[in-house]
Amino acid sequence: MDTAERLIESTRALLWERGYTGTSPRAIQSLAGAGQGSMYHHFRGKPDLAAVAILRTADELRSRAAALLDGPGGAVERITAYLTLDRDVLRGCPIGRLTQDPDVLADPTLHYPVAETFTWLCDRLSAVLSSGGLRSPLDPDDTAAAIVAMLQGGYVLARAAGSREPFDRAVRGALGLLRSGAA
């Protein structure tokens, strides 16, 4: 990996672990094994580097979700595949965790890909639910938002507990409810 690449990957790892406010330029340089001059040669500063890092993380998240949500099977099967995807649960969601960072929300360049990721995910799940059919009067948009929220909150519960158990429980609970609401 060249230096720019190491700086981006180090920023991604630190944003995931410590958030934006908790990540110093020095910590990025140290993890990347790059000097301060080298970092400022490649990027204007931490915000620029974070913008690239967040976009890349958001792209990965979308690709993984799309592969399963556009996969074979009915609505419930595809959503089951997505929710039960192998996840590093205790690390939390690398995109969702950024919503707790006021400095991210205050910077449109950082905030935008975070907002877009969830809009895209809710729309995608809603489309799957519309095609598969929910029992009346369940609304696909509302149900999709509930499922995406359940996943994000599952990470919160797992980190609170220091165990992935409540995450797995929430996923089972959500899938149970979804099956009972399926047409």
CA angle 43-121-47, nearest 5°?
15
Question: Which residues lie near a copy of itself (CB under 8 A)?
Answer: 17-19, 21-22, 92-93, 95-97, 99-103, 105, 111, 114-115, 117-119, 122, 135, 137-139, 141-157, 159-162, 166-167, 169-174, 176-178, 180-181
Q: Which residues make beta-bridge pairs with 134?
A: 182
Helix 46-69 vs helix 25-32: crossing angle, to nearest 10: 70
> Closest distance between a copy of itself and the C-beta of residue 69, in Å?
17
Q: By C-beta, is 31 or 149 nearer to a copy of itself?
A: 149
> Closest distance between a copy of itself and the C-beta of residue 107, in Å?
12
> Closest distance between a copy of itself and the C-beta of residue 3, in Å?
26
Q: By C-beta, is 3 or 120 nearer to a copy of itself?
A: 120
The sign of the CA dihedral 28, 34, 35, 39 is: negative
The enclosing H or E element of 21 equals: none
Token pair 């220091």 is at which residue? 162
What's the distance, Cα to Cα, between the start and end of the chain in Å?
A: 50
> Closest distance between a copy of itself and the C-beta of residue 79, in Å?
12
